[in-house]
Amino acid sequence: MQVAAENYPFCTIDPSVSRVEVQDERFDWLCEHFKPASKVPSFLQVTDIAGLVKGAAEGAGLGNAFLSHIQAVDCIFHVLRAFDDAEVTHVEDTIDPVRDLEIIAGELLRKDREWVRSRKKLAEQKMKNVKAGQGIEQKEVDMLTKIEAHLESGKAIRKGTWTMGEVELLNTMQLLTAKQNVILVNMCEEDYKRKKNKWLPKIKAWLDEHADKDVLIPMSCVVEDKLASMDAAERKTYEEETKMISACPKVVKAGLKALNMQCYFTAGSDEVRSWGIQVGTKAPGAAGVIHSDFEKGFIMAETMGFDDLKRAESVAALKAGGKYKMNGKEYVVQDGDIINFKFNTPQKENKKDKQKGPH
């Protein structure tokens, strides 16, 4: 997107939003197989937010604004600087990605504690104003007390074990430490090429102790910038000569996994399209991603697995092999399913009929 990245703190203040195409070999194969008039891949929306500094939770460095931007996203890519360059400034004046991890994790934790305390105070006030014996408000206060204690112990929300009721409450709060993190370690070109960096073992050790579910991906923004400026032929030559490839596909896939997302396809001569859905989505919900009428009037989902189609080499051969299936409302869509939905078109209400009443 060529967003400004100048050599001084807070070069950008407002978030920059990009829709990143999800590269998928299955989608490419389907396009080659069906040769459709239209090709629509899945996209991941990525929001670039200005960096936080120490004291952000108390408002330092426009921290409150930046934290509210983070609250609006579903998952966090945390870019860590792990290269030395005297020409590129650092807000802390020295290079230490583990310290940077601790600063950001601490600021997010402090903001969550502030929000939970505020929510608990409101719940306690509400409890005082209701009749004795109504336990709903007390239950909320109890849950918030547990959440507050967890945060006070220095642990992120995503590191806790929560009941269904607590999860429902947490989902209404958009807490920063509940969001899954993908750690992107930004190295110099030389380190990226040799696949070694002095900070990587220390970063990994910190994550193992404090956030063992967070994914770590080494990358180099210098390399990515070079690759982005090349055409396809130049890029292929560069990758063959340097043995360096873009980390972006891996980053995007890690983001989708952290979001608990998968995709299914609709495919034919008119269009091949990839649709993003949550893992565990049932067929009517998947149909609703295309159009709400598909979900309302859902009859069945005709499905075939991508691997089955690739092996069979044609839909006719797949059907002959008994791999083309009819599924009802309880079918849980699988990653890579190719689906044709059958549905009733909802009838528009006739005003005259409405006036006459039921027939």
The domain of 288 spans 262-343
Strands (E), the chain: 16-21, 38-40, 43-48, 75-81, 180-186, 215-219, 261-267, 271-278, 298-305, 325-327, 337-343
Q: How confident is the model at residue 10 (pLDDT cuts 50, 70, 90)?
A: low
293 and 239 belong to one structural domain: no
CATH of the domain at 280: 3.10.20.30
Domain boundary among 211, 233, 256: 256
More confident residue, 197 or 1: 197
198 and 325 belong to one structural domain: no
Q: How confident is the model at residue 81 (pLDDT cuts 50, 70, 90)?
A: very high
Distance CA 141, CA 136 (A): 9
**In this structure, what DSSP letter does residue 146 have?**
H
Provide, rounded to the nearest whole percent, the portion of the chain with pLDDT above 90: 68
Q: How confident is the model at residue 63 (pLDDT cuts 50, 70, 90)?
A: low
249 and 283 belong to one structural domain: no
Collapsing DSSP to helix, strand or coil, 325 comes out as strand
Contact, 270 vs 36, CB < 8 A?
yes
Q: Which of 59-73, 206-220, 286-300, 325-339 has the lowest mean pLDDT?
A: 59-73
221 and 178 belong to one structural domain: yes
132 and 225 belong to one structural domain: yes
Is position 28 within any domain? no
Q: How confident is the model at residue 355 (pLDDT cuts 50, 70, 90)?
A: very low
For 247, 253, 333, the CA distances from 256, given in Å and listed in that order, are 15, 5, 16
Our count of domains for the chain comes to: 2
Q: Which of 4-13, 183-192, 273-282, 293-302 has the lowest mean pLDDT?
A: 4-13
pLDDT of 357: 39
pLDDT one-digit tens code per residue, 236-271: 999 999 999 999 999 999 999 999 999 999 999 999
Provide, rounded to the nearest whole percent, the portion of the chain with pLDDT above 70: 89
Please give the mean pLDDT across all residues of the chain: 88
Is position 207 within any domain? yes
Domain boundary among 256, 278, 294: 256
Pairing of the two strands 271-278 and 38-40: parallel
Domain boundary among 226, 256, 286: 256
193 and 250 belong to one structural domain: yes
Q: How confident is the model at residue 13 (pLDDT cuts 50, 70, 90)?
A: confident
Distance CA 4, CA 16 (A): 10
pLDDT at 352 over 50: no
pLDDT of 314: 94
pLDDT of 64: 65
Q: What value does the mean pLDDT take over residues 315-326?
A: 95
Q: How confident is the model at residue 358 (pLDDT cuts 50, 70, 90)?
A: very low
For 50, 161, 248, 298, the CA distances from 83, given in Å and listed in that order, are 19, 36, 19, 54
pLDDT of 345: 77
Q: What value does the mean pLDDT take over residues 94-119?
A: 92
Residue among 328, 335, 339 nearest 277 (CA) = 335
pTM of the model: 0.82
pLDDT of 8: 64
pLDDT of 89: 75
pLDDT of 341: 96
pLDDT of 56: 59
93 and 178 belong to one structural domain: yes
